[in-house]
Amino acid sequence: MSSEFEQQESGVSRGVFLRRGAVGGLALVGSGGILASVAGPAFASPSVTGSDIATIQAAYTAESLAVYVYTAAITNHKKFGLANLDYFTAARADEVAHKEFLGKALGSKTPTGLKFQIPAMYLKSGKTVLELGRALETAFIAAYLGAVKPFSSTDLKEVAAQVAANEASHFSFFDAALGGHAVTPALPKSASIPATLKALKPFLA
């Protein structure tokens, strides 16, 4: 695996991530406007539980991974012959906004010391990089949908559902670039936190 695709952040270890993530559904909270108008008040609510906080910590870790992957794609787009750099730039900006908001919401409870890696199987060509993007976005959509039920806050449930729709547009880009129809299933599957963590585990160094 190329060292240029490895990154250390301020973060929890993989073991801590897995323990915290197992508490509830993994919600990767959505775009800046939604976060500001819906999730902000929800985080301040006394009804937010310890399980919610643990789920949001897992979300911060996953958003950090998303930022890392998009950054790697942008940095190495010439090496892998990736077109549509504007898409990768815009998508990365969304993920950075998600991560920054979640960090502010968590405050002192923000995970630190995170370390990521991209499995070598995804570093063979531009096609495999696109396959990586599609695989992650598929997992994220399922995770957002799976987060709706376990959240205690109605506002957070709504955000999780809205973001699932947003992430579907990211999936569509990768699917189309790989020759697909750029359309998600009529009723996308949801995933439990164990299933989501299993999908993300190879990326946690």
pLDDT, tens only, 63-113: 888 899 999 999 999 999 999 999 999 999 888 887 887 787 778 888 888
For 155-192, write each residue's pLDDT tens digit: 778 777 877 887 899 999 999 999 999 999 999 999 87
Distances (CA, A) of 29 to 97, 120, 205: 10, 28, 23
CA atoms of 145 and 188, how far apart (whole Å): 8
What was the pLDDT predicted at 46? 59
Q: Please identify which residue in the block is written with the tokens 């998009």.
A: 70
What was the pLDDT predicted at 58? 73
CA atoms of 53 and 45, how far apart (whole Å): 12
**Single-letter code of the amino acid located at 119:** P
For 118-152, write each residue's pLDDT tens digit: 999 999 999 999 999 999 889 888 888 888 888 88
CB 184 within 8 A of CB 172: yes
What was the pLDDT predicted at 43? 53
Q: Is the pLDDT of residue 26 over 50?
A: no
pTM above 0.85, yes or no: no
Domain boundaries, the chain: 3-203
CA atoms of 29 and 94, how far apart (whole Å): 10
User: Collapsing DSSP states into helix, strand and coil, what is residue 7?
Assistant: strand
What was the pLDDT predicted at 163? 75
